[in-house]
Amino acid sequence: VHGRATRRRVRARSASRVRILLAEDSATVRYVVAQAVEQLGHECTPVEDGLRAWEALQQSDYEVVISDWVMPEIDGEELCRLVRADPDRPYNYFIMLTSLEDREYVMRAMEVGADDFLTKPLEPHELQTRLIAASRVTALHRNLRRRQQQAEKEIQLAAGVQRSLLPDTPPELERASVAGRCFPATNVGGDCFDYVVDDDGRLNVFIADVAGHSISSALLMAMGRSALRREIAAGASPAAVLGATNRAMYADLVSTELFITMFCARYDPATHVLEYASAGHNPPLLGSGTDVVELDADGVAIGILEEVDFEERTATLAEGDRLLLYTDGAMEALDPAGEQFGEHRLHALMGTDAGVAPEAFLDHIYTAVRAHAGDTPQQDDITLVALQATT
Amino acid sequence: MDEQLLEIFRGEATERLDRMTAALAAAERGPIDAATIDVLFRDAHSLKGGAAMMGFGEIGALAATMEAILAPARDAGAVAADALPALVGGVEAIRAAVAGDASALEPAAAALARLG
């Protein structure tokens, strides 16, 4: 009667029920440890060696592994290495169980990733204190992991929404063809582009780059896109579109300390006239044969000044001329030695693939940029839009 | 003392001691393979752990001495012939102690200690 009462009291005191996997080849030790663990109100699954322990860890989840060091098949050191080798597994608090004489193993065990150790003979009080720490540490690890997975899932969802804001297919135009591509550096980015064909058959095209590629950049990118499309739908010219967009977004950009560069153009395939305005964006390149000119127009990035008078310019395209809009992710792509892809390489590419349609041309540019970068991960979003005057 | 636990310990000890006796007998007849030496080492190691768990300090200490001799033997892949009588003595002393007669533990420990 007294024993049962004590057991209940101990059980009530234990912080929370922990699932423990016990890897131990000695039946005697297994019995003693399992009994002690269960008396503390925890759950114990005893197995005879490291291999069975590793198999059990694939089958079910255990918060704690208590493992002997010397075992047939897979020993305690190897088991600990296996548990720690996969960073995606839920955390296991790893306790090495050794004899007093085997203290040398303890250091090795800690070095391969064990969290703690217990010595034989087992002191129930020691076991209890270790399991309190184990329960707390495991819960913390797993909580962090759960939150991280949640955050990653939300970013994935945001990335999906963001991708859906980019146009799927370019509009079909007479006497012009257009294509666009966006390659985000991370799941969510701050780049966007879009095309809108107005009632007069003119192609309105814009490209924008929000500083950074975080969730806030993505949100501002979505706002910017809406503002641009609204002004374009209202029939505004490129400079007016940028002016109105700046007025609409200025307050929000100032408070977030971010800015957006934009380039907005309107092309009339009937006359081959291109009207354009820039809000501090990298000047697009206009290629005519082997000649390449930059299309720049005065205007600062959106969100810098409250009121901006954007300059509007025009250019007339000849048949076969090609216009390339891009964000700085393309130009600033670094190779392993730290050298940028650079404007000169982009210029050089303009004169190549003369007969190639915009879509394939963009693939060539992106391939060239990635080839330059080699193993260097993409640092910034790369967005490209190409427009070509055709017959 | 938990009767069931004592039963488990006696069963495990007997199984390990029998296996050690057989391995040592084989070693007396000629060289034994690495796997057999490894099992011999692990049996001594587990006896040490089990005895420690039971609070049988003397048995544990003797098993630890045997383990200390078997560890380099395992690494070398051979048990030195002159160590065999003391090891057999150790096994028998533990067997007797598990059965209730601890008198042979001390002389067996002394014989093992002489191996240096």
Alpha-carbon Rg of chain B, whole angstroms? 13
Strands (E), A169-238: 176-183, 191-197, 203-210
How far apart are the C-alpha atoms of A66 and A10, rounded to whole Å?
Answer: 20
List Cα–Cα distances, A309 to A2, A52, B25, B51, B115, in angstroms.
89, 74, 101, 89, 97
Sign of CA dihedral A192, A280, A308, A196: negative
3-state secondary structure of A322: strand
Query: Which of A32, A70, A121 lies nearest to residue B45, judging by beta carbons?
Result: A70
Reading the block at residue A83, the tokens are: 């548990």
Query: Which of B39, B49, B55 lies nearest to residue A26, judging by beta carbons?
Result: B49
Residue-level pLDDT at A13:
46
Residue identified by tokens 């609409």 is A248
Assess contact for A263 and A290: CB atoms under 8 A.
no
In the DSSP assignment, the letter for residue B82 is G
Interface of B with A (CB under 8 A): 4-5, 8-9, 11-13, 39, 41-42, 45-46, 48-50, 52-55, 60, 64
Are A28 and B12 a contacting pair at CB < 8 A? yes
Residue-level pLDDT at A11:
46
- Largest interatomic CA distance in chain A: 100
List Cα–Cα distances, A338 to A78, A332, A335, in angstroms.
40, 10, 5
Residue-level pLDDT at B1:
66
One-character DSSP codes across A330-366 = HHTPBPTTS-B-HHHHHHHHHTS-TT--HHHHHHHHH
> Consecutive sets of 10 residues in chain B, 116 residues long: mean pLDDT of each?
91 97 94 93 94 92 94 90 94 95 92 85
How near does any CA of chain A get to the CA of B80, in Å? Answer: 22
Are B42 and A100 a contacting pair at CB < 8 A? no
Residue-level pLDDT at A16:
77
How near does any CA of chain B get to the CA of A72, in Å? Answer: 8
How far apart are the C-alpha atoms of A69 and A55, rounded to whole Å?
Answer: 17
Residue-level pLDDT at A106:
85
Are A29 and B4 a contacting pair at CB < 8 A? no
List Cα–Cα distances, A250 to A183, A245, A259, A299, A319, in angstroms.
27, 8, 9, 14, 39
Are A101 and B48 a contacting pair at CB < 8 A? yes
How far apart are the C-alpha atoms of A239 and A302, rounded to whole Å?
Answer: 12
How far apart are the C-alpha atoms of A166 and A316, rounded to whole Å?
Answer: 28
Assess contact for A316 and A274: CB atoms under 8 A.
yes
> Consecutive sets of 10 residues in chain A, 391 residues long: mean pLDDT of each?
49 69 95 94 95 95 94 90 90 90 83 92 90 93 92 87 90 92 82 92 95 82 93 95 96 91 96 96 91 94 96 94 92 90 90 82 92 89 92 79
> A234: which residues sit within 8 A by CB, 6+ positions away?
none
Reading the block at residue B17, the tokens are: 């001691």
Residue-level pLDDT at A12:
45
Assess contact for B40 and B70: CB atoms under 8 A.
yes
Planar angle of CA A72, A78, A82, nearest 5 degrees: 125
Reading the block at residue A127, the tokens are: 């076991």
How far apart are the C-alpha atoms of A266 and A41, rounded to whole Å?
Answer: 73
Residue-level pLDDT at A244:
96
Residue identified by tokens 């939150």 is A147
**With the CA atoms of A373, A376, A379 and A380 taken in that order, what torsion angle do they form, in degrees rounded to the nearest 10?**
30
Assess contact for A174 and A391: CB atoms under 8 A.
no
Assess contact for A24 and A98: CB atoms under 8 A.
no
How far apart are the C-alpha atoms of B47 and B59, rounded to whole Å?
Answer: 8
Residue identified by tokens 């954007």 is A310
How near does any CA of chain A get to the CA of B49, in Å? Answer: 6
Residue-level pLDDT at A87:
82
Q: Which residues of B touch A25 (CB under 8 A)?
A: 42, 46
List Cα–Cα distances, A377 to A180, A185, A189, A341, A374, in angstroms.
22, 8, 15, 13, 8
Residue-level pLDDT at A23:
96
User: How many CB pairs (< 8 A) connect A and B?
Assistant: 56
One-character DSSP codes across B20-77 = HHHHHHHHHHS---HHHHHHHHHHHHHHHHHHHHHT-HHHHHHHHHHHHHHHHHHHHT
pTM of the model as a whole: 0.69
**With the CA atoms of A82, A84, A86 and A92 taken in that order, what torsion angle do they form, in degrees rounded to the nearest 10?**
100
Half-sphere CA count of A47, side-chain side, radius 13 A: 23
Q: Which residues of A touch B66 (CB under 8 A)?
A: none
How far apart are the C-alpha atoms of A95 and A27, rounded to whole Å?
Answer: 18
CA A78 remoteness from chain centre: 33
**With the CA atoms of B78, B81, B85 and B89 taken in that order, what torsion angle do they form, in degrees rounded to the nearest 10?**
-10
Pick from A75, A101, A118, A122 the residue to mutate for testing the B interface (most B CBs within 10 Å): A101
